[in-house]
């Protein structure tokens, strides 16, 4: 009878061993993924960390040492174990996107809203040929693009959002 119990216990362990090894390997891989994401963001970035025990911590990213992440908020430091991290978010501004978008809108508006003269009508101050009209279109488009880019540089840092780094 003891041989049957021994055989059952060995069978249960043989079945459970691959699953426990895979979970440990996945946890180590997740820790490596979190560490890689933190190399690009830290130090100084504003992070939001959600842990497996449903705790949320926000703060400035500090050092990563001994599989722990240091977050600082109002001079208080929190240390979070990397294996307990469920998701990691970074706060980003949209300066490049706003600059490009508003420069394109400004360039299009400058070109389209340029004072076009009806056919046959001539304003001598601006020139009367097609080449002069194209030159005015280019100048107004470039001016609109510069004004739009300046507006994007002003507005972009004020638009902020969270971007998911890791789950």
Q: Is residue 55 assigned to a domain?
A: yes
At residue 112, does pLDDT exceed 80?
yes
In a domain, 121, yes or no: no
Mean pLDDT check: name the lowest of 84-98, 109-123, 150-164.
109-123
> Is residue 1 in a domain?
no
Query: And the tokens for 2?
Result: 């003891």
CB 165 within 8 A of CB 88: yes
Could you tell me the pTM of the whole model?
0.57
Residue 80 lies in a domain: yes
User: Quick one: how far is CA 32 from the chain centroid?
Assistant: 19
Q: Is 85 a member of any domain?
A: yes
Domain count, the chain: 1
**Does the residue 150 lie in any domain?**
yes
State the Cα–Cα distance between residues 27 and 32, nearest whole angstrom: 9
Range of the domain at 72: 28-89+135-155
CA 102 to chain centre: 20
Does any domain span residue 63?
Answer: yes
pLDDT at 155: 93
CA distance 128 to 120: 9
User: Is there a domain that residue 118 lies in?
Assistant: no
Q: What is the pLDDT of residues 57-95, one digit of tens each?
A: 888 887 777 777 878 788 887 888 888 888 888 888 889
Q: Which residue intervals of 42-129 are DSSP H helices?
A: 95-112
């Amino acid at each position: 009878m003891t041989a049957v119990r021994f055989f059952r216990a060995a069978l249960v362990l043989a079945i459970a061993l691959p699953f426990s090894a895979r979970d440990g390997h996945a946890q180590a891989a997740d820790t490596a993924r979190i560490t890689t994401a933190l190399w690009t963001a830290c130090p100084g970035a504003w992070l939001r960390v959600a842990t497996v025990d449903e705790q949320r911590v926000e703060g400035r990213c500090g050092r990563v040492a001994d599989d722990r992440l240091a977050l600082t908020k109002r001079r208080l430091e929190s240390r979070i174990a990397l294996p307990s991290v469920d998701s990691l978010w970074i706060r980003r501004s949209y300066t490049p996107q706003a600059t490009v978008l508003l420069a394109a809108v400004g360039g299009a508006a400058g070109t389209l809203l340029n004072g076009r003269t009806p056919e046959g009508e001539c304003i001598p101050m601006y020139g009367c040929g097609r080449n002069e009209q194209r030159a005015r279109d280019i100048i107004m488009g470039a001016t609109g693009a510069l004004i739009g880019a300046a507006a994007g540089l002003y507005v972009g840092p004020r638009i902020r959002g969270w971007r998911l780094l890791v789950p």
